[in-house]
Amino acid sequence: MIYHFQGGAKVAHHKHRTEGKPIEALPMPSRLFVHIHQNMGAPSKPVVAVGDEIQKGQLIAEPTAFVSVPIHAPTSGKVVAIETHPHPSMGKGTAIVIEPDGKETWVKGKPEQLDFRAMTRDQILTRIRDGGLVGLGGATFPTHVKLTPPANTPVRTVILNGAECEPYLTSDDALMRTRAEDMVTGLEIILKALGATESYIGIEDNKPEAIAALSQAAKRLQGCRVVVLRSRYPQGAERSMIKAILGKWLPGGKLPMALGVVVQNVTTAACITDAVVRGIPLIERVVTVTGSAVNQPKNVRVLVGTTWADLLRFCGGTTSDLSRLVAGGPMMGVAQSSFDTPIVKASGGLLALSKRDIAVPPVGPCLRCGNCLEACPMGLAPFAFPTYVRERDWQGAKRANALHCVECGSCEYSCPANRPIVHSVRVLKKAIAEADAKAKAAKMETKAGVGAA
Ligand code: SF4
Ligand code: SF4
């Protein structure tokens, strides 16, 4: 049986360029640019200075809040600068620049194999936090926070998310085929950390080898079910995953915990095993480098801090008709303005697209066809959002739940008139936040005035 959610879009897939290829390791770059802000929440604070000799796995930036994570040296070498540098999703940010010494000397005290079954829940969470783990499906939410539900919100069910529904990306697929055992161990660790008893692994039906590998590995985990999902975008969104597997609808504005569920990406699960069992922090990842404008598309194992330029060089460079670089997938990725931008923990892909890939047909008036209504996995009325922008009706947009939009792009993809719906939603979200902040400030001023009187 193949499970599915409501809505979504049947997007054209371009996974063939890297699908089934082995993961290749990138040779050591001459410089690494390690950003201190790589997670949702607060940035970290550097604890090294220019001139310091550092070792692989050493803490180089410490968390500054509960919703923050430590950053570790991806290799041994020397800190040569701490400076402003392009960031793949934030424009610019502070990066610790490392000149590798090529020795790959691990920091002292890195533990060998540990048994997570002998650990307490707190010990597991501490190791996950100390490993600097964030959600690697793109959300970058600190993993230790996600695995710490409030006392009155017990979690019963864990879903490992192996959908990888973005049309070009295959890095999760490559890891599912090669690290299925570690993913299942990661799932066991998550279950123990949460005290949860029920588990599923959801994978789209276009990844038969991954389904076979995880089904085999999951045999040892009692009650764990590998669920084959219809390949439809955005199957990988948490809400779509929960709807398809559990048949439950998560209302907008609520977290999966409200239903007693936690969803974790499969690659995050493998990295949890690295951190908890092997003491290896999150310092490298697999990135899909693909698109019609890259000469040798590959899945590449790279150190965090490696630049797009180094990655593209390893993939044979780009063709002369390169028109756009995108970090992530084409549906939710971010256009890049510099080859010097480094990968961060959440960088699952780099697309080099040609003019032909990004040709945008002209925008027309809404045809009232209803395609966007059918496509929206959140049950919204996407056709109305450009109108709210035109009429500057922020309160109307709020009542229409614009804030619940997950910016998946399914509506825009399905729209025959090419209406700029996702851009409109972003404008609305910003305007609503500004209007709310103004209203709050005015309320506080009034209160202060009353108090003073
Ligand atoms: S309105 Fe938002 S959530 Fe709905 S399909 Fe469009 S982008 Fe996705
Ligand atoms: S899909 Fe496009 S044309 Fe059709 S109703 Fe929605 S906004 Fe209008």
Checking if the pLDDT of 51 tops 70, the result is yes
For ligand 2, atom 2, the nearest C-alpha belongs to 415
Nearest CA to ligand 2 atom 7: 383
Question: Can you give the CATH number for the domain in which 270 is found?
Answer: 3.40.50.11540
Choose the final residue of a domain: 278, 312, 347: 278
Q: Does 233 share its domain with 121?
A: yes
pLDDT score of 137 more than 90: no
Final residue in a domain of this structure, among 278, 313, 348: 278
Tell me, yes or no, whether 67 lies in a domain.
Answer: no
Q: Give yes or no: residues 255 and 396 share one domain.
A: no
User: pLDDT digit string (tens) for 345-397?
Assistant: 999 999 999 988 887 789 999 999 999 999 999 999 999 999 999 999 999 99
Q: Does residue 375 sit in the same domain as residue 261?
A: no
In a domain, 292, yes or no: no
| 68 is a domain residue | no
Gap from CA of 444 to ligand 2 centroid (Å): 41
Does 299 map to a domain?
no
Check whether residue 267 and residue 408 sit in a common domain.
no
Same domain, 258 and 407: no
In a domain, 23, yes or no: yes
pLDDT band at 266 (very low <50, low <70, confident <90, very high): very high
Instruction: Give me the sheet containing 71-72, strands edge to edge.
Output: 45-46, 59-62, 71-72
Q: Are 271 and 417 contained in the same domain?
A: no
| CA 176 – CA 341 distance, rounded (Å) | 27
Domains in the chain: how many in total?
A: 2
CA 32 to chain centre: 21
Q: 396 and 274: one domain?
A: no
pLDDT band at 453 (very low <50, low <70, confident <90, very high): low
Structure tokens at 16: 């063939």
Q: Which domain holds residue 431?
A: 371-452
Q: Is the pLDDT reported for residue 431 higher than 70?
A: yes
**Residues 266 and 380 grouped into a single domain:** no
Q: Whose CA is nearest to atom 5 of ligand 1?
A: 376
| Domain end marker among 244, 278, 312 | 278
At residue 447, does pLDDT exceed 80?
no
Examine the pLDDT at 444 and tell me if it is beyond 70.
yes
In a domain, 10, yes or no: no
Distance 367 CA to ligand 1 centre (A): 18
Which amino acid residue places its CA nearest to atom 8 of ligand 1?
408
372 Cβ below 6 A of ligand 2: yes
